[in-house]
Amino acid sequence: MNSDFLPINQEEMALKGWDRPDFVVVTGAAYVDHPSFGTSIISRILESQGFKVAILSLPNWKNLDSFKEFGKPKYAFLVNAGNMDSMVSNYTAARKPRKSDVYAPGERAGMRPDRASIVYSAALKQVYKKVPIILGGIEASLRRFSHYDYWSNSVRRSIILDSKADLLIYGMGERQIQEIGERFKKGLSIKQMKDIPGTLYRTQDKPDSETLILPSFKEIKEDKRKFAQSFNLQQLNTDPFNAKVIAESYPGEWVIQNIPAMPLNREELDWVFSLPYTREPHPIYKKSGGIKAIEEVRFSIVSNRGCYGGCSFCALTYHQGRIVTSRSHESIIKEAVEITSHPEFKGYIHDVGGPTANFTKRACFKQEERGACPGKQCLAPEPCKLLEVDHSDYLELLRKLRALPKVKKVFIRSGIRFDYLMLDEDDTFFKELVEHHVSGQLKVAPEHVSDNVLSLMGKPGNSVFTKFAEKFRKLTDEIGKPQYLVPYFISSHPGSTLEDAIELAEYLRDTGLRSDQVQDFIPTPGTLSTAMFYSGYNPVNMKKVKSELTPQEKAMQRALLQYSKPQNRELVREALKICKREDLIGNGPKCLIPRGKSRRY
């Protein structure tokens, strides 16, 4: 037993001399004591406050005894589904079970239940009826109000109702958990915690007149326009500076969301990353194949948090917010030095970034006191005139990291927002990015090339990416390195037609780019794109959006993005015939596929 880890079973708790824990964190992922895992952050914060915290990882939900591992905690159970929504983790875009889970020992699939937050909470309520349950994590955060659930193809209630939890923490949770801990210390009950920013609760009491009332659950179930309107009101109230308390009504009860918690400042973020993480999975998992998820982050550094990119298909605005906070150079360098002392470190820091690597500061001076502008995006469709474009601090940090002993290379694998990069009149960062920070391939996310689809995605027009790609090639040629762009695309996004997919296929043909990374759009809770997909309206302007695609149409769109693969030819052929684009079938230089049916691949 490694005493540096928090206890994960009764034996380890006994070795610490505890008779019972203050909090038990119940999670749908393996226990990895690393700051990229929410369970570890929340647990280490509570530990720093003097609390005894135990981790119940991947309990067997079919056996109630597994939830009795630590007995009854003094204060509460903290429940999360893991680093991913359990339905996204368990199923593909085609609603088929996934064959592996990187957050489980040996990548074993099926170790967490569907709708893990609800299942775990129900089990705990049966075993310890009066112990408070507090939900947190990405699954709870994004399902905190009525939401469209792709896997059941239905609108589901707030997760706090279906789980019967006592309180829900949304967002990153550091401020909330510290306040909850302090109130428990003072002898307050969970019922006396209904005013904490960044939390949501259920009540039978009608909200006061200052509260923003959303359309009721009944209304959004019956009227898709109401669903879209409700989502728009929610996204207009995600900023702590200007958000209101929000309420949603159900038969006989209300769900009340307090205003968002303030984002951590630099000193606070540094502190979170200074906590005594072991930065490793618990050693108990070695015998069952280890935890795959650690491989991507073990030699990577989170340098910032928050994103003002405004991509419609991303839930970051709903979870982390639009205000960017970055760690100090001193904090990051200290972590980098720790990384270089790891016995498996081979000289390569795999990533230095966050949601968007080159967002390292506020979007503009207004955000200091007024927050992010509600109803207005910083970058798309056109960049705001007040947007502050500056890569100098990030560049200085990367230079410091490159100069560290034992460091051969520092790569950037987080998303580079190329439209923001192209706004920088100083090419120094772009040049050093190409020369020092690309591992042969630079992954970028243009997502599509159709300006119609891009506008719905909240992305800039394709001309911006084309100029970026040209500049990347020019700078790559100048240094004489064989480096390539690896573009990331989304197929079947709301509003995307077969014609749009053909336009993208032709763009790939003409530019020589390969779409090795294609994601079939998955309507996950908490995104603008999902609201479009379900309702058929763009919540921002209430214009209609064609979203309902048959499985065959979705398959054809995906195949077009990878038209050169032999196994995709028949789907591509079918799509081209439907769109009357037989001119793209044949042996000419502009053709996508050859004539004649191909043999089954």
Task: Return residue ranges of the chain for CATH 3.30.750.200.
Answer: 443-601
Q: Which DSSP string do the residues of 168-203 spell out, in sequence order? A: EE-SS-HHHHHHHHHHHHTT--GGG-TT-TTEEEEE
Residue 601 has pLDDT above 90, yes or no: no
Give the pLDDT score at 582. 94
Note the CATH architecture for domain 299-439: 2-Layer Sandwich (3.30)
Helix segments in 223-281, DSSP class H: 224-235, 266-274
443-601 placed in CATH 3.30.750.200? yes
* Section 380-388 average pLDDT: 92
Write phi, then psi, for 211 (nearest 5 degrees). -80, 140
Residue 1 has pLDDT above 50, yes or no: no
CA distance 545 to 538: 6
* Section 545-572 average pLDDT: 91
pLDDT tens per residue across span 280-336: 999 999 999 999 999 989 999 999 999 999 999 999 888 888 999 999 999 999 999
* Section 465-475 average pLDDT: 95
Task: Return residue ranges of the chain for CATH 3.30.750.210.
Answer: 299-439
pLDDT tens per residue across span 485-518: 989 999 999 999 999 999 999 999 999 888 777 8
Selected residue with higher pLDDT from 94 and 46: 46
Tokens 């694998």 belong to residue = 413
Task: Return residue ranges of the chain for CATH 3.40.50.280.
Answer: 10-201
* Section 57-71 average pLDDT: 96
Per-residue confidence at 597, pLDDT binned at 50, 70, 90?
low
Task: Name which of 322, 190, 142, 161 is nearest 256 in CA terms.
Answer: 161
> b/e map of 497-524 (b: 16 or more CB within 10 Å)?
bbebbbbbbbbbbebebebeebbbbbbb
Give the pLDDT score at 307. 92
Give the pLDDT score at 381. 86
Most confident of 129-143, 362-376, 479-493, 514-528: 129-143
Residue 596 has pLDDT above 80, yes or no: no
Whole-number percent of the chain with pLDDT over 90: 88
Task: Name which of 289, 320, 327, 326 is nearest 306 in CA terms.
Answer: 320
CA distance 156 to 11: 40
Residue 2 has pLDDT above 60, yes or no: no
Give the pLDDT score at 3. 58
CATH of 10-201, one of 3.40.50.2300, 3.50.50.60, 3.40.50.280, 3.30.450.40: 3.40.50.280
Residue 48 three-state SS: helix
Instruction: State whether the Cα torsion 11-16-21-27 is positive or negative.
Output: negative
Selected residue with higher pLDDT from 407 and 546: 407
**Amino acid present at 431:** K
Tell me the average pLDDT of the chain: 94
Residue 26 has pLDDT above 70, yes or no: yes
Residue 600 has pLDDT above 80, yes or no: no
Whole-number percent of the chain with pLDDT over 70: 99
Give the pLDDT score at 513. 86
Residue 404 has pLDDT above 90, yes or no: yes
Tokens of 123: 């089990």
Alpha-carbon Rg of the chain, whole angstroms?
Answer: 25
Give the pLDDT score at 83. 93
* Section 348-368 average pLDDT: 92
CA distance 81 to 136: 8
CA distance 274 to 279: 11
